[in-house]
Structure 1
Amino acid sequence: MYFNVGKGIAIAHVKVPLFLLYSFLLAGQVNANEVKTANNAEVTFTALPEQCVTLRQGRDCFATVELQWHSSTKQSFCLYQEGKNKQLGCWQNNNQVLINVEFQSNKTIKYQLRTVSDNKVIAETQVEVSWQHKNTARKRRWRLF
């Protein structure tokens, strides 16, 4: 191993066995939203964008969120918004669904994919709300003179 420092950038050269490098690359591709159902079918559930950014803390963030689920076999699921327990839709015998949802919130919202038969949560994803500027308690007073 050696370091090459030039113009503030350090580059490290390390010899790594190929199988170890390959395992690190595969580990980075695992999606945290992949879940196995009772019949061993993999279900992937994602939300894009994963983050909604507003200007000030406490203000509502507005976005169109694309929720997508994919299963290796045809299954029946319902989509819920956690907290309000609001059902956004149900699908019978599908293996891939894409739905656009209007997002308006000042806090993180989780979405759940549940089975139609027993309402069991199969997978969940969330849209995180963040802000550019923290809300300050400072009063702004205007003076003319």
Structure 2
Amino acid sequence: MTKLCLSLGLLISVSSMNLQASQTPIELTVSPEQCVALHKGQTCYQNVLFKWQTPDVGRYCLTESKSHQKIICWDGQAMKQYQYDFEGISTTLYSLIRLDSEEPLAEIKVVVTWVYKAPKQSQSGWRLF
């Protein structure tokens, strides 16, 4: 009886491992990952390419995480990439979600950096001596 239970338990765990191996892993990437503005606080403009891999079944969306704004939605593996015109003054987090759950399946950031810190006040102007 014990051998039967162990064999049955082993069979169930092997079956679940095969099921997990056959499922498509969910992946999300962006290129480039960084947007560089000249001065701190300036809006950064960059064309970025999001690429993903999703299972065959389901409706998915790429969203901007903070505002939950849907950028694009698709069914299964109908789409695998999207060219996006990024505009931002700070690092922005994007999520890949399944439409029926709104729970993030994968997340990625577009990091905003700058060449110079915020410009100081102009040195020109009136001075008191």
- State the TM-score, normalizing by the size of structure 2: 0.72
Question: Cα RMSD over matched residues?
Answer: 2.1
2:73 alignment partner in structure 1: 90
Moved over 4 A (4+): none
- Asked whether 1:114 is paired with 2:106, we answer no
Structure with the largest fraction of helix: 2
Distance 1:99 1:85 in 2: 18
Distance 1:66 1:88 in 2: 13
Q: What does 1:9-24 correspond to in 2, within 5 Å?
A: none
2:44 alignment partner in structure 1: 61
Q: Which moved more, 1:74-83 or 1:103-112?
A: 74-83
Whose RCO is larger (CA < 8 A, sep 6+)?
2
Distance 2:76 2:29 in 1: 19
Deviations 1:36-74 (A, max 9, x none): x9x953111001110000111110100111111013x31
SS at match of 1:74: coil
Structure 1 residue runs of 5 or longer lacking an equivalent are 1-36
- State the TM-score, normalizing by the size of structure 1: 0.65
Percent identity (aligned)? 24
Structure 2 residue runs of 5 or longer lacking an equivalent are 1-19
